Structure 1
Amino acid sequence: MLLILGYLGIFACVFGGFMMAGGEIGVLIQPIEVLIIVGSAFSAFIASNSLNTIKAALAGGIGTLRPSRYNKEYYLDLLLSFNALSQKARKEGLLSLERVADDPEGCMIFGERIVSDRHLMEFICDKLRLILTGVDAALLEDLIDAEIEAHHDNCHVPIRAVQRVGDGMPAFGIVAAVMGVVHTMESVGIPPAELGKLIAAALVGTFLGILVSYGFVSPVAALMEERLEDESNAYRCAQKGLLNCAKGTSPPMTVEFMRTAIPYQVRPGFFELEDYLKSSKG
């Protein structure tokens, strides 16, 4: 929603300002320039990336239109889930977590928001299986750190692909402008009024390339980067819970370790979390 509001603001400021200065908005409507710039940029995007990267970039770009799932309610669900998981491990032993790892949906441990996060759920279940093997906690931490880093690097690939499209838009705008100038130069015999329209159309190419780059594509890449950080923070929070389960830490301390790993803007307060755990238990 904020992305759309930002886009509307860009339209209002750029085109509204142009019209307030006395400009004719019809001069900026150049479908051929749009075809050259956007079509060439998208074709270069396809040519320079694998199919998996293209799919991930498109999915990530569309996903920026939706609000982030990693809000306070999500983290409350995650904390509640690990509170129940830690209690189960302390009461019934670590071996009781085998069923949880094999059937996370049927065990009724994890909340709906966590179960629907397929990638995080796979991450948690895989690490629970490692815990069941009796792996050392320090070794488990190193392993999780390596996996989070690899996941983070892998998810950066589509973000870089989108950013490269944004970086290339001004250059394609120059290409469209140069082609417009070439067309203008071959039409020097026409009346000055018509010649002026051709020059204006050529200059619109540079304008559109810069506007689409910095006003529309680059914000999507920046927002995808922010969403990736949100996802990584959820993994780090789950990491704290898994490590404390492996160490046999008490449920309250496990949850508190996890709470401190949550970004401040979505972190539930101490008493807020306590009330949530009590109400859920009830």
Structure 2
Amino acid sequence: MQNFDKISLFGIIIALGAIIGGQVLEGGHISSLLQLTAFMIVIGGTVGAVMLQSSPSVFMSGLRMAKWIFLPPSYNPQLLLKMIIEWSQASRKGGLLALEAHISAQKDPFIRKALQMLVDGAEPEAMRHAMELDINTYEERARRSAKVWEAAGGYAPTIGILGAVMGLIHVMENLSDPSKLGAGIAVAFVATIYGVGCANLLFLPIANKLKVHIENQVILKEMLIDGLIAIANGENPRLVENKLAGYIG
């Protein structure tokens, strides 16, 4: 079961609370920060720009990956180390074929594939090469998906400035009608707030957090490979444990 990442929720609440709280303390109204036109310009323009630079599969993968902000993938090197030691001990007693019973219990396709190669008697270096290729492919695809949010963080401030310019154009066109000046000025400033705020409070932090989760998953996969290669080479379970202890900080 995935653990809920509370710090991400608290971070968003604190960030938005600080902005809104500052507005209230300065005597402003929260409603003045709510401008549908500015929201449409910034969010719509940003989404469109990101879609333009991304392939459909990468864009959708990036959106799906957003759930990692609150429900990150499991990162438990201690549990993986425990499993590898159990496999090492089972292999020591019953040979590599004894690990076949452990394959079906694994939900992760990467672990199943690695164990199956080990049971099939693949050469250690051949197995390492095949699994490292899978890791590189996974990391490249995952990073491209995370860059969807990084790209959004790059485009949003510029789109916000575009919205500000549009608002000022509206103001200039209605200088003779004072009743329309307020709305145009509001869109101009709020669009800038939306662009800079979304980029620095949401999009870029999300991208950076996704990168951390990707790195953690790569570490687990590399740890698995080193453990299984050690088992394939017939190393003592204690030596395997000592070798993999460095992965656990």
RMSD of aligned alpha carbons? 2.0
Residue of structure 2 equivalent to 1:212: 198
Residue of structure 1 equivalent to 2:3: none
In the alignment, structure 1 segments of 5+ residues that lack a partner are: 106-114, 265-282
Q: How many residues align?
A: 244
Residue of structure 1 equivalent to 2:79: 77
Partners of 2:42 and 2:159 within 8 A in 1: yes
Q: Report the alpha carbon displacement of residue 199 of structure 1 after superposing the two structures with TM.
A: 1.6
Instruction: Give distance in 2, aligned partners of 1:199 and 1:36.
Output: 15
Query: What amino acid is the match of 2:109?
Result: E
Q: Secondary structure at the match of 2:28?
A: coil
Query: What amino acid is the match of 1:162?
Result: W
Q: Report the alpha carbon displacement of residue 194 of structure 1 after superposing the two structures with TM.
A: 5.0
Partners of 1:124 and 1:242 within 8 A in 2: no
What TM-score does the superposition give when structure 1 sets the normalisation length? 0.79
**How do 1:91-110 residues align onto structure 2 when only pairs under 5 Å count?**
91-101=93-103, 104-105=104-105
In the alignment, structure 2 segments of 5+ residues that lack a partner are: 1-5
**How do 1:133-282 residues align onto structure 2 when only pairs under 5 Å count?**
133-191=120-178, 195-262=181-248, 264=249
Partners of 2:72 and 2:213 within 8 A in 1: no
Task: Please state if 1:66 is matched with 2:71.
Answer: yes
Partners of 1:28 and 1:201 within 8 A in 2: no
Q: Report the alpha carbon displacement of residue 32 of structure 1 after superposing the two structures with TM.
A: 0.9
The one of 119, 125, 129 aligned to 2:116: 129
Partners of 1:95 and 1:132 within 8 A in 2: yes
State percent identity of aligned pairs: 25
Query: What amino acid is the match of 2:88?
Result: S
Partners of 1:36 and 1:176 within 8 A in 2: yes
Q: Secondary structure at the match of 1:45?
A: helix
Q: Report the alpha carbon displacement of residue 248 of structure 1 after superposing the two structures with TM.
A: 0.8
Q: Report the alpha carbon displacement of residue 55 of structure 1 after superposing the two structures with TM.
A: 2.5
Instruction: Give distance in 2, aligned partners of 1:93 and 1:195.
Output: 81
Q: Report the alpha carbon displacement of residue 228 of structure 1 after superposing the two structures with TM.
A: 0.5
Partners of 2:150 and 2:207 within 8 A in 1: yes
Which string of whole-angstrom CA distances, capped at 9 and with x for unpartnered residues, describes residues 192-247 of structure 1?
A: x7524432331211121011111111111111001101111111111121111111
Partners of 1:90 and 1:248 within 8 A in 2: yes
Following TM superposition, the consecutive aligned residue runs of length 4 or more in structure 1 with deviations greater than 4 angstroms are none
